[in-house]
């Protein structure tokens, strides 16, 4: 029947309008920015760097291997590894920038990272008052604690934590016999 779609739409609007006086679930809008809807766990937009412990610099999981930089389709990641006194690269980023105005939120950087060092964020209030700052995020903007990762993606983060713990235990078990072998003759392993 002609106009059936319009009548259906009006019926839905009326049901929500009058229903909102009786059921909170019918209130489909919130007064943003004072009120914000909880973000679903699977929501993702741009990457951030995870760090362990309290130090956002020392605790960074990133080892500056540059795999994510190579694999990023629009090439919006820029990494410069730290150098030691002889100019050899250290396993730590000196610079780690992501231009989120170019990032297409594909999550490939997350999938290729062998160290679970980069994950997808849910932060959406990213506008800047200074136009010269742009949307180029630096290491200090990107570094966020593992506790934050657990808060926004609890299921995924608990799996990652379990895998990392297992890897740590395996590494410790591998190192034990080596430590025992270094003990002197007649001395018990440390
Ligand atoms: S985030 Fe991961 S893949 Fe990218 S440089 Fe760091 S360790 Fe390598
Ligand atoms: S989400 Fe995709 S586009 Fe964005 S930085 Fe990662 S690999 Fe690049």
> Residue 136 maps to which CATH number?
3.30.70.3270
- Residue 13 within any structural domain of the chain: no
- Residue 181 within any structural domain of the chain: no
Cβ-in-10-Å burial (0-12, 13-18, 19+) of 102 comes to middle
pLDDT, one tens digit per residue, over 133-167 is 778 999 999 999 999 999 999 999 999 999 999 99
Query: 62: closest CA among 45, 86, 79?
Result: 79
- Residue 176 within any structural domain of the chain: no
Domain with 119, as residue range(s), is 47-167
Task: State the total domains in the chain.
Answer: 1
Question: What does the pLDDT read at residue 189?
Answer: 43
- Residue 155 within any structural domain of the chain: yes
pTM comes to: 0.82
Residue 114: nearest ligand to its CA?
A: 1
For residue 58, give every residue at least 6 positions away whose Cβ sits within 8 Å of its Cβ, in sequence order, or none: 51
pLDDT, one tens digit per residue, over 75-98 is 999 999 999 999 999 999 999 999
Query: 93: closest CA among 59, 116, 125?
Result: 59
- Residue 7 within any structural domain of the chain: no
What number does the ligand 1 atom closest to the CA of 79 have?
5
Say yes or no: CB of residue 75 within 6 Å of ligand 2: no
180 confidence band (pLDDT: 50, 70, 90):
low
- Residue 124 within any structural domain of the chain: yes
pLDDT, one tens digit per residue, over 34-89 is 999 889 999 999 999 999 999 999 999 999 999 999 999 999 999 999 999 999 99
């Amino acid at each position: 029947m002609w106009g059936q779609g319009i009548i259906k739409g009006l019926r839905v609007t009326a049901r929500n309008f009058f229903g909102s006086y009786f059921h909170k679930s019918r209130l489909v809008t919130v007064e943003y920015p004072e009120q914000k809807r909880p973000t679903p766990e699977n929501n993702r937009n741009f990457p951030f760097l995870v760090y362990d412990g309290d130090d956002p610099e020392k605790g960074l999981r990133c080892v500056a291997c540059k795999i994510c930089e190579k694999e990023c389709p629009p090439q919006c990641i820029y990494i410069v590894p730290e150098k030691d006194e002889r100019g050899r690269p250290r396993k730590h980023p000196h610079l780690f920038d992501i231009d989120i105005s170019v990032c297409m939120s594909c999550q490939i950087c997350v999938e290729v990272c062998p160290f679970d060092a980069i994950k997808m964020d849910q932060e959406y209030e990213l506008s800047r008052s200074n136009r010269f700052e742009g949307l180029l995020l630096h290491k200090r903007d990107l570094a966020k604690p593992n506790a934050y990762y657990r808060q926004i993606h609890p299921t995924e983060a608990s799996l990652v934590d379990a895998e990392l713990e297992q890897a740590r235990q395996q590494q410790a078990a591998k190192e034990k016999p080596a430590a025992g072998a270094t003990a002197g003759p007649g001395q018990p392993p440390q």
